[in-house]
Amino acid sequence: MTVRNLEPYFDWAGLDGFAYPLDPQGIPLARFNRKIGWQHNPITIAQYGLYRLHKWADGGADEDRAAALRCGLWLKQNLAPWREGQFAWIYRYDLSFYGPRAPWISAMAQGEGISLLLRLAKMQPEQEWTAAACQAFTPFLHTVEHGGVVDRLDSGDVIFEEYPTQPSSHVLNGFIFALFGVFDLARHTEDQSAQALCRQAIQTLQHNWQRWDTGFWTRYDLHPTGRLASPMYHELHIRLLQQTAEMFNAADLSAVAARWRAMQKKPGCWMRMGGGKAFEKIRLLGRRQ
């Protein structure tokens, strides 16, 4: 069955051209650093699949649909038993900057994988895409401490962790992309646990957005290394927060997105960001491999 009225996922225009190298099966590869080299990254695979799927839905070629299906099939085949009662896309290589050691899992990977699988389910409901998405949701029912992807800020508010690190990193874009996946599952299956997590996650953003706001730019995360967002990630934060505001009818989050957009128009904000990033590179020299 051909289904072209798939709802859009996210507007990556100007942020990522998705020009990734592909393995012999047509699956994109990502390179974290020289030591790790080119690897299958579930986040990259899910994002690439979503990009090609919506390119097809907007009138693209059949190869766009085929590429999305290949990514979805990879995700379905590589969704593996994790901790008790959980299924996940397992990272089997270390990351030097934040320090997660293999094996580890990511809320962003789980959320974006869910989003792709559920969109494919609208095209091929007989292929058990929804069942795989429901399995991929299971880490959201467990804390990071117990092998899942849910953590809490010191305020007690829920957050989804892109990287399960100690100390916690609380990466903003990873949190929101993970939320999109939970939201998709809540809509598609009416799962009450997913619906409850959506409500809690929105409250986290409403109560804590200031933590990622320096007054002149956004932070990439809340890790003790204290990194500012790059210009690309600042733009990404704006788009993510605005889309979240529209999805949940949250005018207060739309106002925050407008605040962050205004920072882009102020030369003083750019100067402070540039100086901060230059100092940051010196301060963190040697952490990346």
Domain ranges of the chain: 30-283
48-102, pLDDT tens digit by residue?
Answer: 999 999 999 999 999 999 999 999 999 999 999 999 899 999 999 998 788 789 9
Q: What is the mean pLDDT of the chain?
A: 94
**Helix/strand/coil for 147:** coil
Residues in the chain: 289
Model pLDDT, residue 104: 97
Lowest mean pLDDT among 92-96, 135-139, 263-267, 278-282: 92-96
Model pLDDT, residue 244: 97
Alpha carbon distance 79, 239 (integer Å): 29
Confidence of residue 249 (pLDDT cuts 50, 70, 90): very high
Alpha carbon distance 125, 131 (integer Å): 10
**Helix/strand/coil for 91:** strand
Q: What number of H helices and E strands is found in the chain?
A: 9, 6
Alpha carbon distance 273, 268 (integer Å): 9
CATH number, domain 30-283, options 1.10.1740.10, 1.50.10.10, 3.20.20.70, 3.20.20.20: 1.50.10.10
Can you spell out the DSSP letters for 20-77? --B-TTS-B-EE--TTT-EE--HHHHHHHHHHHHHHHHTT--HHHHHHHHHHHHHHHH
185-216, pLDDT tens digit by residue?
Answer: 999 999 999 999 999 999 999 999 999 999 99
**Structure-block tokens of residue 114:** 């869910």
Alpha carbon distance 216, 84 (integer Å): 44
Model pLDDT, residue 165: 87
Confidence of residue 5 (pLDDT cuts 50, 70, 90): low
Residues 146, 159: contact at Cβ < 8 Å?
A: no
Model pLDDT, residue 289: 45
Confidence of residue 3 (pLDDT cuts 50, 70, 90): low
Residues 10, 239: contact at Cβ < 8 Å?
A: yes
Amino acid at 189: T
Three-state secondary structure string covering 164-220: CCCCCCCCHHHHHHHHHHHHHHHHHHCCHHHHHHHHHHHHHHHHHHHHHECCCCEEC
pTM score = 0.96
